[in-house]
Amino acid sequence: MRQAGRYLPEYRALRAKAGDFLTLCKTPELACEITLQPLNRFRLDAAILFSDILTIPDAMGLGLHFTEGEGPHFKRRLESAADIKALCVPDPHEKLSYVMDAIRLIKQELAIPSEDKDVRSDKSTLGAPGRYSKAPLIGFSGSPWTLACYMIEGGKSQNFHRIKKWLYTEPAILHHLLNTLAQSVIAYLIAQIEAGVDTVMIFDSWGGILSPDIYQHFSLSYIKTIIEALPKHIPVIVYTKNGGVGLELMAQTGCRVIGIDWTITLQEARRRVPETMILQGNWDPAILLSHPTQIEQEVKKICPLSNHIANLGHGITPDIPVENVEAFVEAIHRYSPSI
């Protein structure tokens, strides 16, 4: 969850040099470097592609821009049924080729054994004292529902009233949009897999604002369609913020891993999904606001558990001290059963 970002000084330095967030995403060498920054600092077991879930709506022509401290905005939000019907599924090899180029670069870097990193011929800053050889790479996309929220609201929202009005007054039009987005996510994730990612994560960040039956029909059913269309050897992680209420339904989407936030205990989640389902996450990122001793206590409460991928329950915010992230990762290594 947001391994990279504003809490890291080396990320802030690159962002300042590039000028803005989208330039970082759209320049494969920079996206590669940022993907590897957290792995250079911490003993992480996997890398997550540096990008954003909003690259698909951007490729659809909505004009994404990020304002410092304010998050994402679209120049053109979806206002009418005609706007929705005019949207096309973007060809990921054309409009999103910068993502696939970044993935190929990252995979090359991850394949270089640690001991060879200081004798690289190109003398780039990538991979300096690398600890990350052979770490798998996680690709990702937003869920159709979460992407639709941003496209209809025009950016982040307090109450999601615009999309909820559509949901209850024009459900067929909303389904049309969700279907176009599901087809777009399928093409995008298949392209990421062909470029080399080892697993994919679907972020349904706003699925948790829905009642259970609406969540099933407007979010999970599209996630299920996406998973059915992906190659079977690629494990899929599904994460819904505040998704505790729908855990059993999430387990029926065909995913291999369910990401959970901190509003449900891991023990309860374990009881409610099949034994073979892997659970990921569960620590409140706010524990990282405390200090290493407290962080160690919090880690001990949850580790060790089998069929569990240690992770935060949501992203790291800019106000987190870097040394607390280090303390968290090291405590996880101390208290996890060795693999």
Residue 154: CB minimum distance to ligand 1CP, A: 11
DSSP state of 218: I
Q: Is 53 in the site for ligand 1CP (CB under 6 A)?
A: yes
Q: Among 46-54, 55-63, 180-188, 331-339, which window interacts with ligand 1CP (CB under 6 A)?
A: 46-54
Q: Among 45-53, 102-110, 184-192, 268-276, which window interacts with ligand 1CP (CB under 6 A)?
A: 45-53
Task: Based on the residue annotation, tell me whether 43 is a catalytic residue of this protein.
Answer: no
Which phi-psi region, left, alpha or beta, contains residue 134 (left: φ > 0; alpha: ψ -120 to 50)? left
Spatial contact of 10 and 30, defined as CB atoms under 8 Å apart = no
User: Residue 242: how many CB atoms within 10 A of its CB?
Assistant: 19
Q: Which of 7, 15, 132, 239 is catalytic?
A: 15
Give, as ranges, the residues between 125 and 154 that touch ligand 1CP (CB under 6 A). Answer: 140
Output 204 or 298, the one with its CB closest to ligand 1CP.
Answer: 204
Give, as ranges, the residues between 150 and 169 that touch ligand 1CP (CB under 6 A). Answer: 156
Residue 12: CB minimum distance to ligand 1CP, A: 8
Task: Based on the residue annotation, tell me whether 6 is a catalytic residue of this protein.
Answer: yes
- Widest pairwise Cα distance in the chain: 62
Output 212 or 318, the one with its CB closest to ligand 1CP.
Answer: 318
| Cα radius of gyration rounded to whole Å, the chain | 20
Q: Which of 11, 150, 215, 239 is catalytic?
A: 150
Task: Based on the residue annotation, tell me whether 15 is a catalytic residue of this protein.
Answer: yes
In a 13 Å sphere around the CA of 67, the CA atoms on its Cβ side amount to 6
Q: What is the 3-state secondary structure (H, E, C) of 254-287?
A: CCCEEEECCCCCHHHHHHHCCCCCEEEEEECHHH
Q: Which of 7, 52, 132, 222 is catalytic?
A: 52
Q: Is 262 in the site for ligand 1CP (CB under 6 A)?
A: no
Residue 129: CB minimum distance to ligand 1CP, A: 20
Helices marked H in the chain: 9-18, 21-26, 28-41, 55-59, 81-85, 92-95, 97-111, 144-153, 161-169, 171-195, 212-215, 221-229, 247-250, 266-272, 292-302, 322-335
The residues carrying an active-site annotation are 2, 6, 15, 52, 150
Q: What are the residues binding ligand 1CP (CB under 6 A)?
A: 2-6, 15, 21, 48, 50-54, 71-72, 140, 156, 203, 205, 241, 315
